């Protein structure tokens, strides 16, 4: 299997992927029970085919450790252009050379996180925690409804290959299809699909409908 660096066509994507690896490895030094989720988790832990530039995590709220994490990242060559710690969340923007990565975290404990291998851009595997495919699907259904981004529909379509019989998800998807509203940015999907054909909204909805049946 080709490493991510060889699959990605654009230099900006290669550079972001490498910067993400450095951030993720540093996060786990300070927060060993951190849980990665969202698009980057799907891409790196489930052999996803969509480039994702953000890092989304669930971590324990520990301001001292968070500050130490950012200090270490700065020592390793990152500049912090934004860092905002709220009551229940952390929002930040990090720059490494010319690459910009958003790192966001919710201060939330996840019961029974899923131990999985994270593929680095160079093809190495490191053990991390993420969500199960079922939990990621439920999260993506909610995320698409909230912001109607084509990448979330793609992630939902992609993840269904990992889901076995699940009545709860079937019912949620039936309701999702019934109330479906088109994304506002379908034209953006092609730029972030790594290999192969870029599916249309109709292609993906047809696939989801077949899965539900």
Q: What are phi and psi of 174, to 5 degrees?
A: -60, -45
| Residue 100 reports pLDDT greater than 90 | yes
Q: What is the pLDDT of residues 117-146, one digit of tens each?
A: 999 999 999 999 999 999 999 999 999 999
Fold of the 4-131 domain:
Nuclear Transport Factor 2; Chain: A, (3.10.450)
7-30: per-residue pLDDT in tens?
A: 999 999 999 999 999 999 999 999
* Strand-pair partners of 116: 128
Tell which residue, 209, 196, 210, 193, has the closest CA to residue 151. Answer: 193
Quick one: pLDDT at residue 137? Answer: 98
For the chain, domain boundaries: 4-131, 134-212
At residue 1, the pLDDT reads 77
Under DSSP, is residue 208 helix (H, G, I), strand (E, B) or coil? Answer: helix
pLDDT, residue 4, reads 97
pLDDT one-digit tens code per residue, 39-75: 999 999 999 999 999 999 999 999 999 999 999 999 9
> What's the predicted TM-score (pTM) here?
0.95
Quick check: 84 pLDDT over 90? yes
Q: For residue 16, what are its two tokens? A: 């972001």
Q: For the chain, give the percent of residues with pLDDT over 90.
A: 98
Q: What is the pLDDT of residue 165?
A: 85
């Amino acid at each position: 299997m080709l490493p991510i660096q060889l699959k990605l066509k654009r230099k900006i994507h290669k550079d972001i992927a490498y910067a993400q690896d450095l951030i993720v490895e540093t996060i786990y030094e300070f927060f060993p029970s951190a849980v990665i989720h969202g698009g980057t988790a799907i891409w790196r832990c489930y052999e996803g085919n969509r480039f994702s530039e953000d890092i989304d995590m669930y971590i324990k709220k520990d301001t001292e450790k968070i500050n130490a994490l950012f200090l270490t990242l700065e020592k390793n060559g990152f500049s912090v252009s934004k860092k905002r710690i709220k009551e229940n969340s952390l929002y930040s923007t990090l720059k490494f050379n010319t690459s910009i990565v958003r790192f966001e975290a919710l201060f939330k404990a996840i019961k029974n996180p899923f131990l999985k291998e994270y593929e680095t851009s160079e093809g190495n595997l490191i053990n991390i925690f993420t969500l199960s495919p079922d939990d990621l699907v439920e999260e993506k259904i909610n995320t698409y409804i909230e912001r109607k981004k084509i990448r979330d529909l793609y992630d939902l379509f992609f993840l269904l290959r990992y889901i076995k019989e699940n009545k709860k998800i079937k019912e949620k998807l039936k309701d999702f299809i019934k109330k479906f509203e088109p994304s506002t940015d379908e034209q953006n999907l092609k730029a972030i699909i790594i290999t192969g054909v870029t599916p249309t909204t109709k292609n993906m909805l047809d696939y989801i409908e077949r899965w539900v049946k």
